Chain A
Amino acid sequence: DGGITQSPKYLFRKEGQNVTLSCEQNLNHDAMYWYRQDPGQGLRLIYYSQIVNDFQKGDIAEGYSVSREKKESFPLTVTSAQKNPTAFYLCASSPFAGAGMDVSNQPQHFGDGTRLSIL
């Protein structure tokens, strides 16, 4: 079955600690995204990547970092600079039609999230 796998499901962070959230997809999608969801709220974009070895900041990138060394993987690191990291983190992917195509008409496929809490 193709899909997106996020791990771990629950994660705890101590003060001053960096933690990395995993996101793997086997859908052969080019684009991947990280969102943050706070209780009772919608999703806010942290980072996104449309192609391997390239990524862009979203609306709330401060305190986070990403890498995209492989098409299948887009890990998110929550650094100690992120002062309020407690949230539900969602990873998504979508096909990317490439330059000159209408790339916005692509539904996104989501993983089941990682819930991060502060100890």
Chain B
Amino acid sequence: SQQGEEDPQALSIQEGENATMNCSYKTSINNLQWYRQNSGRGLVHLILIRSNEREKHSGRLRVTLDTSKKSSSLLITASRAADTASYFCATANEAAGNKLTFGGGTRVLVKP
């Protein structure tokens, strides 16, 4: 079973707009990671946020984590056509060691 569930499953926006996607999970975690996957390619790590952190930034990316609600959000600001990809959250918990459990992903289309 998948630990993380992304919402929405798909998102279409205009270039320059912000894109927000959410991830909910079921069990306690050590950290939550976000990855991007371009069509037909491997995943690229974006951000890792630890369970004791609430917010993290990396360039145009902003990730929040609310452990009380077991949810995280990824915000992409000022989107570009090159941001078109699928975005996955993945959770790691102590019982699973270094194994990651991935959600089903959000497919983002940024229209020029």
Contacts and interface: CB of A to CB of B under 8 A. Distances in A.
Interface of A: 4, 6, 31, 33, 35, 40-45, 48, 50, 58, 90, 92, 94, 96, 102-113, 115
A98 to B, nearest CB: 11
B100 A108 contact: yes
A113 B98 contact: no
Interface stretch (B12-20, B37-45, B60-68, B74-82): B37-45
B3 to A, nearest CB: 10
Contacts of B97: 50, 103-104
A104 B102 contact: no
11 contacts: A40-B104, A42-B2, A42-B104, A43-B43, A45-B101, A58-B99, A90-B43, A104-B31, A105-B30, A105-B50, A113-B40
Contacts of B48: 105, 107
Given A96-B98, A105-B30, A111 B42 contact: yes
Contacts of B100: 45, 108
B33 interface: yes
Interface residues of B, number: 29
Interface in B19-47: 30-31, 33, 35, 40-45
A50 B102 contact: no
Contacts of A94: 98
Contacts of A58: 99
Contacts of B31: 104-105
B98 A110 contact: no
A50 B88 contact: no
B105 A110 contact: no
Contact of A104 (B4, B35, B43, B93): B93
Given A102-B30, A107-B33, A109-B45, A43 B102 contact: yes
